[in-house]
Structure 1
Amino acid sequence: MSGADDEDEVLRWIERVATFCVEEWALPPITGRILGLLMICDPPEQSAGRIAETIRASRASLTSNMRFLAAIGLVRKVRVPGDRTTYYRIEDDAWHKVIQRKLDGLGAFGDIADEGAHLVGGSGPRTGRIRAAQQSLTWLRDIAARHPPKP
């Protein structure tokens, strides 16, 4: 397989990551492309210019998305002594952070559901709908708690 074929396969995989991020988490495609690239690139640290070039994004769009990913703790800036270029890399525990945020959200829904059930009187069809959602989300949270990711 030639280098161009390898690069095309990598770009297709990055696009699959982007599509997943769009469909599952409603992230902009560029955010998913950045995550995909930073998972598969070698070396793991990449400059903004190289990222933009590889995923064919504007520097302005890239900058705002990198800022977002850094703010939520999935990507971090890396400095190399003697080099004025800023590099970026995906955090080693990025996916654990994503899943933990989802689990925290599921737990927070329990409080909202309790408040809703109390608001509608604690019984009847409205409470049943609220409790069904709460039980499903609690079930998922509990499964994840029993089977934490391995480092």
Structure 2
Amino acid sequence: MTMTEAQHAYVDRVATFFTMFGSARAWAEILGWLMICEPAERTQAEIAADLGLSAGTVSTQLRTHVQLGMVEQVRVRGDRTQRYRLRSGAWYGVMASELERIRALGDLARAGDDILPRDRPERVTELGDLADFFAREWPPLMERMAAELDPSPSETRI
């Protein structure tokens, strides 16, 4: 499939965003493409051709996406070719997992309590205060999000 200029721009924008946070460029490009491609299900070979990536790179990055729960493997009845698509509810899972990182930040801040300079503790206590705030607020926020957005994965298959 030939991507339009607008599709290229979007995939590049997604890739640029995620690489700022340490993701591999190919991983982010695949994510961006699976967010917008039609049909939504693509084979590994199609993804490689669409994005101009090597088959090995696509294979490795798709495996990571599947392991993270962002992408799922699907099959079309009567076709033995494995296809991939963005998993329904994947973004909800990403947001739900943030609570672990928030709590870890709080733990990191508290680990410095005994060694903080007494005249300037705010460099560490600020992080702990923010983490504690979000650790309290995140679960109710996720509950409201679930109620408003119904993030349950779709059971539809192709």
Q: Note whether the superposition's TM-score is higher than 0.5.
A: yes
Checking the alignment, whether the CA contact within 8 Å between 2:106 and 2:127 is kept in structure 1 is: no
Q: CA, structure 1 residues 49+129, in 2 after alignment: closer, same or farther (shift >3 Å)?
A: same
Count how many residue pairs are aligned between Structure 1 and Structure 2: 144
Give the residue type in structure 2 aligned to 1:74: M
One-letter identity of the residue aligned with 2:69? G
Which whole-Å CA distance do the structure 1 matches of 2:120 and 2:71 have between them? 42
Structure 2 stretches lacking a partner, 5+ long? 151-158
Quote the residue 1:97 is aligned against. 93
Q: Is structure 2 residue 95 aligned with structure 1 residue 77?
A: no
Richer in helix (by share): 1
Q: Aligned equivalents of 1:145 and 1:125: distance in 2?
A: 34
- Show the 5 A alignment for 1:40-51: 40-51=36-47
- What is the distance in 2 between the residues matched to 1:125 and 1:58? 55
TM-score normalised by the chain length of structure 1: 0.83
Percent identity reads 28
C-alpha change, 1:125 and 1:99, in structure 2 (3 Å) is: farther
TM-score by length of 2: 0.80
Contact 2:105 2:127 in 1 (8 A): no
Structure 1 gaps, min length 5: none
Alignment of 1:137 onto 2:131? yes
Pick 1 or 2: higher relative contact order, CA cutoff 8 A, min separation 6. Answer: 2
Q: Of 15, 18, 21, which residue of structure 1 is paired with 2:15?
A: 18
